Chain A
Amino acid sequence: EAGVAQSPRYKIIEKRQSVAFWCNPISGHATLYWYQQILGQGPKLLIQFQNNGVVDDSQLPKDRFSAERLKGVDSTLKIQPAKLEDSAVYLCASSVSAYGYTFGSGTRLTVV
């Protein structure tokens, strides 16, 4: 079974620019998550989708972050405008209802 695909792997942008990340979950996985992992910290949930509906976005900074999941499959996470503190690894994960997640390799964002 193919894993969770994420792109790009790395991105460097200047502050106040915009950036978008893409995620393709494992086929058939209804639940998709975006996590932010700042260096030295554990992953923190930004948003959870069930099919194409949002289940939890309580920790998503909605003034600058947005996410969508088209047709309940692929998902994009956007930051506009980026701040220095957004430098992190952005992890996408998907799951079926029974067990733990399968994570993608992540996108490392550096804001300069």
Chain B
Amino acid sequence: DQQVKQNSPSLSVQEGRISILNCDYTNSMFDYFLWYKKYPAEGPTFLISISSIKDKNEDGRFTVFLNKSAKHLSLHIVPSQPGDSAVYFCAASPIQGAQKLVFGQGTRLTINP
């Protein structure tokens, strides 16, 4: 039962262009969504989050969009930089805070110079 799905295992983008990573979820009880970034041999690091009362949250080059009716969120990175090459995980929680997170399978983003 995959409640959070990232259907693209990999994505390749040219440096300077926009990277768009997508995530779908099935559980309507999810109320808080997060994106994590993971480099090889390191643990995931928190990138950006969004509450269900919002449809957009922006932090520098990173913007997360939430479409509750479609149960879909996306992460936009613009402009993309070589250091953005990593695996990105979408995660969801029924409530903001120190609660159980359900993760997607991850998308490997490669930024080409």
A111 in the interface (beta carbon within 8 A): no
Give Cα A101–Cα B35 distance, bound, in whole angstroms.
11
C-beta contact mask, B74-99 vs A, less than 8 Å → 1, else 0? 00000000000000010100001110
Does A56 lie within 8 Å of B42, measured CB to CB? no
Does B98 lie within 8 Å of A44, measured CB to CB? no
- List of A residues within 8 angstroms of B49 by Cβ: 99-100
Interface residue total, chain A, C-beta cutoff 8 A: 27
Does B44 lie within 8 Å of A43, measured CB to CB? yes
Pick the residue among A45, A48, A105 that contacts B41 (CB under 8 A): A105
Does A98 lie within 8 Å of B100, measured CB to CB? no
- How many inter-chain residue pairs (CB < 8 Å) link A and B? 62
A87-106, CB < 8 A from B: 91, 93, 95-106
At the interface, is chain B mostly helix, strand, loop or mixed? loop
Q: Determine the residue in chain A with the shortest Cβ distance to B49.
A: A100
Does B105 lie within 8 Å of A56, measured CB to CB? no
Does A97 lie within 8 Å of B97, measured CB to CB? yes
Does B98 lie within 8 Å of A96, measured CB to CB? yes
Give Cα A48–Cα B36 distance, bound, in whole angstroms.
19
Show 14 residue pairs from A and B whose CB-CB distance is below 8 angstroms, ordered by the A residue. A9-B41, A30-B98, A42-B89, A42-B91, A44-B103, A45-B100, A48-B100, A93-B43, A95-B98, A98-B96, A100-B101, A101-B98, A102-B46, A103-B36
List of 8 A-B pairs having minimum Cβ-Cβ separation, nearest first: A42-B103, A103-B43, A31-B98, A95-B98, A100-B46, A43-B103, A103-B44, A105-B43
* B residues at A contact (CB < 8 Å): 4, 6, 9, 34, 36, 41-46, 49, 89, 91, 96-98, 100-106
